[in-house]
Amino acid sequence: MRVIHLLRKFDAAEWGGTETAVERLFDGLRQLGVTPVMFCPRVNGDGARAAIPTRVDQNARPSDHNRLSTTGPHNGGGDIKRFKSFLPAWGISPQEKRRLIAVGGNLMSLDLLPAMWREPDIALVHTHTLGRLGGIASVVARGRGLPLVVSIHGGLLDLPPAMKDTINEPVHGGFDWGKIFGLLFQSRRLIQQADAVLVCNRTEAELLRNNCPGKRIEVQPHGINIPAYQQSHRAAARDAFPQIYGRDVLLCIGRIDPVKNQDWLVTQAPELFRKHPKAILVFAGACTNEAYGQSLERQIRQLGISDRVLLTGGLPPGDPRLIGLIQEACAVLLPSISETFGLVLLEAWAAGTVVISSRTSGASALIRAGENGWLFELSDPGAFHQAVSQALLNPALRARLAESGRELVSREYSALHVAGQVKQLYSDLIEAKHAIRHSA
């Protein structure tokens, strides 16, 4: 079974949760006899984006990402097909353009449709992006008589109002001349045209079912490679980041972006450090919003806590340094404004680390407060500080909660288990499409 997967972005230099989830899905599908054929963009004709690292230089400094060695197009093998794309917008600054591209702005491509149309022996099309690129996937699937699956990774309806406004008006101070392509490819009808829609949590599923009655909408969680997090990489983290040695590490993983809300943690940092003198706050993630990243660094300097806050920059998927940081952490913190799933929570549990998260729909579906982690409201910093104090001052409690999380991951979220569910969906849709053809 060969399946086209369409992504809006697949760049090791700006890796995020969607890329991690898709890569692990691919690994599981290959073990089950499904061959993913991935289509992902080159942006503005600047050549292929960074290849996915398959071997990490253990002696590399945190900022020395160019020393990462690559041995192929994808970790584990498989086809990656890069297509030219562009952001059809006039009158926006280069910084705004980079920001939109980094977070998967509504790109357009003129060569994607013929490339996907010519791809041989395809049984199904699975798009992990909406917008114009998703509309092209729908055109190809319908034209070739193939089932179409749409995955919604970052949320569509399950979003705070401010984020919905940003999505609805993504080009600030410019003119989006690409809307004509959206009309041509019926981008706004992508969900209605899909044979199945996969979402990350029940809240999103219920909202979509209310909007699209009769549509096949399924909650499909992400999976992880559990053994990778159980092998100790603490030494790699200590060597790369000597600042963490002998400290109580509080780790926040995610791209540096307003939705991840790192500045909220920085605001809480002085009180954290006053209560817990050995604590160090570590942010691991690539910066996808330059203005926000600069503001965050300025805030850290103004508070006089530069020696207690570490920004590692982006770390490649499966990097021993990142896994080691998770294993070294006393707790993984997730202060996001919106999180439709929270893959980092599974990674923390697999590594044996407890989690403390803001009460988003994704985190609320995974965390049972007081049993496998802590939840807090962003409007209630006191609850956050109480959870951190419990984690740092009661090692037995945090170990017990982390173990409960590890058991949940082992039971329900292995990459192979999740891939098996997706393959079964593929088989059902292909069989239904064949039955329709036969009856016709």
Residue 128 DSSP label: S
Q: Exposure string (b/e) for 385-411, b if CB count within 10 Å is 16 or more?
A: bebbebbbeeeeebeebbebbbebbee
Beta pairing class for 124-127 and 148-151: parallel
The pTM (predicted TM-score) of the whole model is 0.80
State whether residue 83 is helix, strand or coil.
strand
pLDDT of residue 281: 98
Q: How far is CA 239 from CA 235, 286, 331, in A?
A: 6, 20, 20
Residues near 227 by beta carbon (within 8 Å), at least 6 away in sequence: none
What is the set of domains in the chain, with CATH numbers? 2-223+414-439 (3.40.50.2000), 230-412 (3.40.50.2000)
pLDDT single digits (tens) 243-287: 999 999 999 999 999 999 999 999 999 999 999 999 999 999 999
Tens of pLDDT, residue by residue over 378-425, are: 999 999 999 999 999 999 999 999 999 999 999 999 999 999 999 999
Provide the mean pLDDT of the chain. Answer: 86
Q: pLDDT digits over 84-119, tens only?
A: 988 888 877 777 777 777 666 788 999 999 999 999
